[in-house]
Amino acid sequence: MFETVLVANRGEIAVRVIRTLRALGVRSVAVFSDADADARHVREADTAVRIGPAPAAESYLCADRLLEAAARTGAQAVHPGYGFLAENAGFARACEEAGLVFIGPPAEAISLMGDKIRAKETVAAAGVPVVPGSSGVGLTDDRLAEAARRIGLPVLLKPSAGGGGKGMRLVREADRLAEEIAAARREARASFGDDTLLVERWIDRPRHIEIQVLADGHGNVVHLGERECSLQRRHQKIVEEAPSVLLDEEIRAAMGEAAVRAARSCGYRGAGTVEFIVPGGDPTAYCFMEMNTRLQVEHPVTEMVTGIDLVEWQLRVAAGEPLPFTQKDIRLTGHAIEARLCAEDPARGFLPSGGTVLRLREPRGEGVRTDSGLSEGTEVGSLYDPMLSKVIAHGPDRATALRRLQAALARTVILGVQTNTGFLRRLLAHPAVVAGELDTGLVERVADELTVTEVPEEVYEAAAAVRLEALRPKGGGWTDPFSVPNGWRLGGEPKPVAFPLRVPGHDPVTHPVRGTHTVTDDTVAVTLDGVRHTFHRAADWLGRDGDVWHVRDHDPVAASLTRAAHCGADSLTAPMPGTVTVVKVAVGDKVTAGQSLLVVEAMKMEHVISAPHAGTVTELDVTPGTTVAMDQVLAVIAPDDEDGAHAKEETA
């Protein structure tokens, strides 16, 4: 076994790997960018090395700096985690050339399976069924469009390099092909440095099921059963479970054997995942999609049903040890479900969010595990992936695991950043999820009904109660009656004390304190109409059952001045904190309604800013590379006179 291992990653996966290294008695080396100098993975490692500025391209994606850090700390091996350079064949080769063991498959296997076109051809030759689609490399935009029409719409555009849903586009109309191909190439180039695309037939209401494999350097390959990953949004998994309710033992064995053949076809070594697309109506018609040559985000559910620490066996295999178990030794016990907690706001269309973690309570308990990179004080920015942590629950059966996970999410407290925690809790309670009737489009279909759009009255009551408590005189002795916030009025009946409040995205309200309340440093409890409501609190943030609200004081004078600054024009604001990557207009340009003007990117997600109406660009406050805050003004479009006149006529 190695003495020292460098973890070439950050966040929750770095913390996860460090945990196993500690259990094995192996010294851990963390790396960090300037933005992560005080991150949890840095504090938990035995030693840590700064590798550069905050942008990933100058730190976590810089192979030379990672190799230098390994040399400076005496590391014998490098664990890449997932994301960043985990599936970069060049980095794997560079580690080998530097005398380091890359804890993953051989560079040749990464290269082969990282090219989705070659991967499909290779596994098909090994007898693994594949999804119908384009073949060959270097397809031009026109040839891609031609292939899409030949296969038959709808089709899925996919980057040949990389994974994780980045750059994928579902196209249902032929007239959208050119625009979607261009967007997919741009995102693939930004995410993977390679804009090669392929096109595949889209299977409506498919299920996404993947098989975990383990292979050593002695010719042994086993599979550890499947994971159901059909609950996705924008091609990104958000809930995963093991095993799948769709498969019986016969199909599970057949898919497992197909995954083993795929792993053998590329000379695989280590932990890897073979992903299949499965028609819900006919699970025997499964088809290979791709192979992820790394540890998966959702690996904990497999660990919980098999009792096998996948990170440990990545390390042991990389150190040359043979697998001590065969396929007949693998047993699946009980059921496990994982939910990914991400920095995003469901009420704003799941746009990325950011901020400082002011209060953190992560669940523990029987059958519950939390993998997290968070701590109080963590700054969540727009430079890295939005996933913050994962909550996993295990039980003797699926129903128990579901209940435990829902309860764990309700106990989760992350204040200071908008997250999808409450949304995930409601998703797990949806009848289709409870029944196991899943497909990759389910989340998109039910998202609106699971998203809380109204602010409950008790939230404003709690926020007002906190402000009222802050005004109460502290200490003993005489108190000036005019300083007591009790609504007392000279010569009149007392009135409830009221506070002007606002939750972003909602109209301001003036809320009087009506009920009774108890306020502590961490919580506030209010009683309305005989019902007691308890919230966690930190600064202007309130949280309950996984949902959070940022309740700010509302200053009507300041708000009116802001509106006046843009009187007679329409301002376009940043929908999320991020970086402006594309600017297509200049001051003075004429634009049409719906015209694409700018692109803002955050956490590997692009958002196009379009003109709300025809008009003229009168202000443009950003250039490519500008970092922007949420709701920051980007540009102002003065409406055309005709549009303005038309709008006035409609109003009249």
Q: Which residues share a beta bridge with 277?
A: 208, 287
- Residues 251 and 347 reside in one and the same domain: no
- Residues 11 and 41 reside in one and the same domain: yes
Residue 563 lies in a domain: no
| Global pTM value | 0.85
Residue 491 lies in a domain: no
**Which of 439 and 136 is assigned the larger pLDDT?**
439
Task: Tell me: pLDDT of 313 over 60.
Answer: yes
Q: What's the whole-number average pLDDT of the chain?
A: 92
Residue where a domain stops, chosen among 452, 481, 510: 452
Task: Tell me: pLDDT of 206 over 80.
Answer: yes
Mean pLDDT of 292-318: 98
**Which of 111 and 471 is assigned the larger pLDDT?**
111
- Residues 114 and 259 reside in one and the same domain: yes
**Cα–Cα distance measured from residue 499 to residue 301, given in angstroms and rounded to the nearest whole number:** 47
pLDDT more than 90, % of the chain: 76
Residue 388 sits in a domain of what CATH number?
3.30.470.20
Task: Tell me: pLDDT of 85 over 80.
Answer: yes
Q: Which residues share a beta bridge with 438?
A: none
- Residues 110 and 136 reside in one and the same domain: no
**Which of 554 and 134 is assigned the larger pLDDT?**
554
Per-residue pLDDT reduced to its tens digit, 461-515: 999 999 999 988 776 666 666 666 766 666 777 778 899 999 988 999 999 999 8
In this structure, what is the dihedral angle of CA atoms 265, 191, 183, 597, given to the nearest 10 degrees? Answer: 180
Q: CA distances (Å), 357 to each of 360, 361, 452, 466, 501, in order?
A: 7, 11, 22, 20, 22
- Residues 294 and 372 reside in one and the same domain: no
- Residues 232 and 113 reside in one and the same domain: yes
Domain of residue 517: give its range. Answer: 457-471+496-553
Give the H or E element holding residue 310. helix 310-318
**Cβ pair 442, 365 in contact under 8 A:** no
Task: Tell me: pLDDT of 575 over 70.
Answer: yes
pLDDT confidence band for 141 (50 / 70 / 90): very high
Mean pLDDT of 403-422: 98
pLDDT confidence band for 648 (50 / 70 / 90): very low
Residue 501 lies in a domain: yes
Per-residue pLDDT reduced to its tens digit, 235-272: 899 999 999 999 999 999 999 999 999 999 999 999 99
Per-residue pLDDT reduced to its tens digit, 349-374: 898 999 999 999 999 999 999 999 99
Residue 271 lies in a domain: yes
pLDDT confidence band for 561 (50 / 70 / 90): low
- Residues 213 and 309 reside in one and the same domain: yes
Q: CA distances (Å), 195 to each of 120, 222, 250, in order?
A: 18, 34, 39
**Cα–Cα distance measured from residue 30 to residue 311, given in angstroms and rounded to the nearest whole number:** 16
Measured at the CA of 481, the angle between CA 476 and CA 484, to 5 degrees, comes to 75
How many CB atoms within 10 Å of residue 166? 21
Per-residue pLDDT reduced to its tens digit, 582-631: 999 999 999 999 899 999 887 767 788 999 889 999 999 899 989 888 78
Residue where a domain stops, chosen among 158, 185, 201: 201
pLDDT of residue 643: 47
- Residues 52 and 90 reside in one and the same domain: yes
pLDDT of residue 557: 79
Mean pLDDT of 420-425: 98
Per-residue pLDDT reduced to its tens digit, 34-58: 999 999 999 999 999 999 999 999 9
Task: Tell me: pLDDT of 641 over 70.
Answer: no
pLDDT of residue 568: 43
**Which of 607 and 311 is assigned the larger pLDDT?**
311
pLDDT of residue 650: 45
pLDDT of residue 652: 39
**Which of 160 and 535 is assigned the larger pLDDT?**
535
pLDDT of residue 24: 98
Residue 30 sits in a domain of what CATH number?
3.40.50.20
For residue 152, with 0-12 CB atoms within 10 Å meaning exposed, 13-18 middle and 19 or more buried, which class applies? Answer: exposed
- 256: nearest Cα among 219, 211, 217: 211
- Residues 276 and 384 reside in one and the same domain: no
Q: How many domains does the chain have?
A: 6
Residues ≥6 apart with Cβ < 8 Å to 187: 159, 166, 167, 606
- Residues 581 and 542 reside in one and the same domain: no
Residue where a domain stops, chosen among 201, 231, 253: 201
pLDDT of residue 495: 77
Per-residue pLDDT reduced to its tens digit, 207-232: 999 999 999 999 999 999 999 999 99
- Residues 13 and 148 reside in one and the same domain: no
Residue 377 lies in a domain: yes
Residue 562 lies in a domain: no
Residue 260 lies in a domain: yes
Task: Tell me: pLDDT of 647 over 60.
Answer: no
Residue 549 lies in a domain: yes
**Cα–Cα distance measured from residue 513 to residue 5, given in angstroms and rounded to the nearest whole number:** 57
- Residues 111 and 249 reside in one and the same domain: yes
**Cβ pair 302, 224 in contact under 8 A:** yes
pLDDT confidence band for 516 (50 / 70 / 90): very high
